[in-house]
Amino acid sequence: MKRTMIGGQAVMEGVMMKNLDNYAVAVRKPDHDIEVSKGEYQSLQERYAFCRIPIIRGVVTFGESMYIGMKTLTYSSEIFEEEEEHNPGKVESFLIRLFGEKLESIIMGLTMILSFVIAVGIFVLLPFFLSDLMKNVIPSYSIRTMIEGIIRVTLFLIYVKLISMMEEIRRVFMYHGAEHKTINCLESGQELTPENIIKHSRLHKRCGTSFLLIVMIVSIIVFMFIRVDSLLWRFLLRLLLVPLVAGISYEFIRWAGRSNSRLVNILSKPGLSLQYLTTKEPDLDMLEVAIAAVEGVFDWRQYQEAMRNGEIED
């Protein structure tokens, strides 16, 4: 039996866990019951050999993670909307008649595009132009590129700190901590009970937060090689190289998730430290939700029995 690479994310009042082609979303409803929804998504990597090529597989995985993440986040928010009486307005009624069952997918697609545009504007466009304003004071392109990266990381840290002050986001960060603690407990071979899980770390090397920080660090190195005079082309090339940066960052996260070497642990420190901002200590009720999500996609008892019998491969 191979070692698990189960992963997940926090959603509104819940946790999503994914294992191979299967994923499950567990949400704590307003009446305190836990509702679990299961789904299946076959990755493009299983269908096309091209998508399994290193670097390219990172871009594919990132895109698929965004799709599944947005879908499960939408599902969790809809659970709470169902508890309240909702009368669609004229515009919403028109859109429902026009698009029917496809409306949810269309809205999700538009939301992903809008989120991407906003992220590019804040974390790519703004740092680029701010650093470019310094060219008369700092003629070195390499130094300006490093400053651009520092601005990008600073903006990201400010953004995370600000949203963490919102009560709803704080609870999402608590569920994020529950997700990490549960996976850490699972991988340690302990029984999945809230009392066991609460003792484990809320940090994990395969976290998406670490991935985002690695993206920002790798972008500094990659963007240093863009040596063109045109301001427009320098910006466009940054956009075009975003998939390459994401692909390289994914390979590092994948390597870090499979290795416990001293070098990997040192290189993983910045990403793990950032998780102190994006995760919070969960309560026992949240851990129950995370366990329900794991059980929706994974037989952890059989897996841990195999660990005790030495049947797990690295």
Read off the pLDDT band of 174 (50, 70, 90). very high
Specify the pLDDT at position 104. 62
- Reference 285, options 199, 191, 197; nearest CA is 197
Handedness of CA 8, 207, 214, 314 (dihedral sign): negative
Rounded to whole angstroms, how far apart are CA atoms 268 and 263? 9
Can you state the percent helix, strand and coil of the chain, rounding each to 5? 65, 10, 25
Q: Has residue 181 been placed in a domain? A: yes
| Full domain range(s) for residue 17 | 7-308
Q: How confident is the model at residue 91 (pLDDT cuts 50, 70, 90)?
A: low
pLDDT at 163 over 70: yes
Residue 207 has pLDDT above 70, yes or no: yes
314 part of a folded domain: no
Q: How far apart are CA 175 and CA 222, in angstroms?
A: 34
pLDDT-derived band of residue 105, with 50, 70 and 90 as boundaries?
low
As a whole number of angstroms, the distance between CA 75 and CA 81 comes to 10
Mean pLDDT value of segment 146-164: 92
For residue 281, what pLDDT is reported?
97
Do residues 287 and 198 make contact, with C-beta atoms less than 8 angstroms apart? Answer: yes
Give tens-digit pLDDT for 250-297: 999 888 878 888 888 888 899 899 999 999 999 999 999 999 999 999
CA distance 255 to 264: 8
pLDDT at 82: 58
Residue 69's pLDDT band (boundaries 50, 70, 90)? confident
The structure tokens listed for 215 are 């993206």
DSSP letter for each residue of 142-184: HHHHHHHHHHHHHHHHHHHHHHTTSHHHHHHHHHHHHHHHHHH
**How far apart are the C-alpha atoms of 29 and 36, rounded to whole Å?**
10
> What tens digit of pLDDT does each residue of 38-67 get?
999 989 998 999 999 999 999 999 889 888
Tokens 């390979």 found at: 251
Position 1 in a domain: no
Amino acid at 304: Q
Share of the chain above pLDDT 70, in %: 88
Whole-number Å distance between alpha carbons of 149 and 2: 38
Is 202 part of any domain?
A: yes
Indicate whether 279 belongs to any domain: yes
Element (H, E) at 269: helix 262-278
* pLDDT at residue number 143: 93
User: 125-164 b/e with 16+ CB inside 10 Å = b?
Assistant: eebbeebeeeeeeeeeeeebbbbbbebbbebbeeebeeee
Q: What pLDDT does 251 receive?
A: 93
Tell me if 313 is assigned to some domain: no
Question: In which band, very low, low, confident or very high, does the pLDDT at 1 lie, cut at 50, 70 and 90?
Answer: very low
| Total domains, the chain | 1
Q: Answer whether 196's CB lies under 8 Å from 294's CB.
A: no
Lowest mean pLDDT among 6-15, 99-108, 221-230, 270-279: 99-108
- What is the C-alpha to C-alpha distance for residues 183 and 299, in angstroms, rounded to an integer? 13
CB 208 within 8 A of CB 253: no
Averaged pLDDT, 18-39 = 93
Q: Determine if the pTM surpasses 0.75.
A: yes
Calculate the average pLDDT of the chain.
86
Closest by CA position to 288, among listed 175, 203, 190, 188:
175
Answer whether residue 2 is part of any domain: no
pLDDT score for 257: 79
